[in-house]
């Protein structure tokens, strides 16, 4: 791919050891291999057949890793045109089935008609501080299935405020990154 600044590796599943081209974009921060390995170990019992949403997808490493490990589908949402092109190229080159790419801003995307997802990857650009508005739109907009899993990546030392019915399942840190997996408890009507 022209303009690629590097490559990252898919670490498990059918696409194991495949490489993703990473465009040279300011603020693009692919989730580290060891964090993805930990996350997908946590998700192993629920990933097969999951409907996933990869908000602020960037390289799409989280969503492609999910497809590689048996997720039924992944809706990728990314606003940067170069990242969208690289993501579409990577999906086509790897023949990854079940991935769709929406060239949208995440907040705008979540104003559309909701489709509940069982697993959401919430890893916005750190400088934009989008965790709270995105989490609120996910929860209030009908985007989360009952019992959905939500992965949140943020700067170390900054645990974003999430809706009160998201319960922390597991969390960790790696370098300057905090990562956490939450489980949604459906609110009582």
Q: In a 10 Å sphere around its CB, with 0-12 CB exposed, 13-18 middle and 19+ buried, how is residue 29 labelled?
A: middle
CATH value at residue 163: 3.40.50.150
83 lies in a domain?
yes
CA-wise closest residue to 114 among 69, 151, 68, 148: 148
Q: How many domains does the chain have?
A: 1
The pLDDT-based confidence of 22 (bands split at 50, 70, 90) is confident
120-155 residue pLDDT tens = 999 998 878 899 999 999 999 999 999 999 999 999
189 lies in a domain?
no
Angle at CA of residue 156, ends 149 and 107, nearest 5°: 50
- Whether the CB-CB separation of 168 and 140 falls below 8 Å is answered with no
From residue 75, give the alpha-carbon distance in Å to each of 56, 99, 134, 139.
11, 6, 16, 17
Residues 128 and 24: their CA atoms lie apart, in Å, by 18
129 lies in a domain?
yes
CA-wise closest residue to 131 among 166, 99, 83, 103: 166
- Whether the CB-CB separation of 137 and 111 falls below 8 Å is answered with yes
| Neighbour tally for 147: CB within 10 Å | 11
38 lies in a domain?
yes
31-58 residue pLDDT tens = 888 999 999 999 999 999 999 999 999 9
The pLDDT-based confidence of 188 (bands split at 50, 70, 90) is low
Beta strands 4-9 and 19-23, pairing class: antiparallel
170 lies in a domain?
yes
What was the pLDDT predicted at 189? 57
Backbone angles phi, psi at 126, to 5 degrees: -55, -40
Range of the domain at 57: 4-184
The most distant pair of C-alpha atoms in the chain lies apart, rounded to whole Å, by 51
Q: pTM for the complete prediction?
A: 0.92
DSSP 8-state symbol, 126 = G
Residues 146 and 140: their CA atoms lie apart, in Å, by 13
Alpha-carbon torsion 51, 25, 160, 33, what sign?
positive
175 lies in a domain?
yes
């Amino acid at each position: 791919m022209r303009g690629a600044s590097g490559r990252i590796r898919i670490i498990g599943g059918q696409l194991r050891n495949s490489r993703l081209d990473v465009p040279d974009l300011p603020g693009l921060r692919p989730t580290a291999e060891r964090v993805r390995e930990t996350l997908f170990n946590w998700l192993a019992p629920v990933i097969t057949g999951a409907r996933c949403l990869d908000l602020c997808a960037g390289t799409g490493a989280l969503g492609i890793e999910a497809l590689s490990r048996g997720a039924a589908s992944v809706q990728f949402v990314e606003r940067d045109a170069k990242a969208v092109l690289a993501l579409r190229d990577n999906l086509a080159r790897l023949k990854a089935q079940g991935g769709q790419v929406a060239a949208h801003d995440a907040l705008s995307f979540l104003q559309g008609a909701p489709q509940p997802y069982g697993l959401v990857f919430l890893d916005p650009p750190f400088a934009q501080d989008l965790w709270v508005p995105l989490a609120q739109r996910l929860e209030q907009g009908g985007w989360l299935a009952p019992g959905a899993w939500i992965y949140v990546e943020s700067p170390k030392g900054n645990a974003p405020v999430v809706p009160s019915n998201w319960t922390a399942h597991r969390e960790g840190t790696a370098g300057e990154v905090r990562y956490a997996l939450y489980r949604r408890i459906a609110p009582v009507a």
